[in-house]
Amino acid sequence: MTRASLLLIAALRRTAGGLLLLVGASFVIYITIRSAPGDAIDAISPMGTPPEVKAKLMAEFGLDRDPLTGYVAWLSRSAVGDFGESLVFAPGATVMDVGLPAFERTLALAGLALAACLVLALLGALLLGRPHPRQQLVTGPLYFVTAAPSFVVAVLFAQGMNWFVHTYVEQGGYETPPWYPIPIYSESWMPYLFAGIVLVAGDGLFTDFLNEVRAELQGLRNAQFIAAVRAKGA
């Protein structure tokens, strides 16, 4: 069996495992919501809604069926991109129309953050060079700072930046600057820059990349072909 075939089989196994995990997680969430106390129809319908309207809503949402049948119906619609209509955020609009633009922005932001993280990790690994005990003076605080969850980094970063601007730049009353990252809905590119910095700095992502890149570079330095090239005087 060729290497390409092995890679293809491994990719298919990973994909199948991911799909099974997604189906299993969605099933647990669906059953949990269906088993929760209270009536979802009463929660979304105004007081005094006629029973026939509630019955129609139950049939539309599949709540008049048993949980297993309802889940299969929901999964079949979700597989073709039919997630129903928004009830609160944008009443009347489909969930796909509401969520797709946000998903595209999230995907672009995550891709750029990963690319930036890889570039910074490569630069950091080259600057640090071979492992040395004194490097812990640099890597230790770095590991500590980047170990914080992303939402903690986001809050501290936003508050710190706003405090700096209002204290040392504006010198006036508290007025939310146009680039403030909350709310995220803004034509400015600053919220996306802030979010990218938070993704790189939070959850230990950068340090994970840095450790992996340093390990790969160290393995490359100790490779036999490198030793052979050096032995020839290169």
Mean pLDDT to the nearest integer, 149-174:
72
- Count Cα atoms within 13 angstroms, Cβ side, for 114: 6
What is the rounded average pLDDT of the residues 19-42? 85
Mean pLDDT of the chain: 79
| Residue-wise pLDDT tens digits, 108-122 | 888 888 888 889 888
Q: What percent of the chain has pLDDT over 90?
A: 8
What was the pLDDT predicted at 106? 83
| Mean pLDDT confidence for 39-45 | 73
Report domain extents, the chain.
Answer: 3-82, 99-231
pTM above 0.75, yes or no: no
Yes or no: say if 40 and 63 are a contact pair by the CB < 8 Å rule.
yes
Contact (CB, 8 A) for 67 and 30 = yes
Which range, 4-18, 146-160, 167-181, is most confident?
4-18
pLDDT digits (tens, 9 = 90+) for 167-212: 766 555 445 555 544 444 556 677 777 788 888 888 888 888 888 8
pLDDT of residue 50: 82
> Which two three-digit tokens encode residue 35?
């088993």
d(CA 182, CA 191): 8
What does the longest C-alpha to C-alpha distance in the chain come to?
89
Q: What does the pLDDT read at residue 198?
A: 84
Res 11 pLDDT > 80: yes
pLDDT band at 103 (very low <50, low <70, confident <90, very high): confident
What end-to-end distance do the CA atoms of the chain give, in Å? 38
109, 192 contact by CB (below 8 A): yes
Q: Give residue 178's pLDDT.
A: 55
124-to-41, 110, 121, 127, 128 alpha-carbon distances in Å? 55, 21, 5, 5, 6
* Whether residue 19 has pLDDT greater than 80: yes
Q: What are phi and psi of 85, to 5 degrees?
A: -110, 150
CB-side neighbour CA atoms (13 Å) of 207: 16
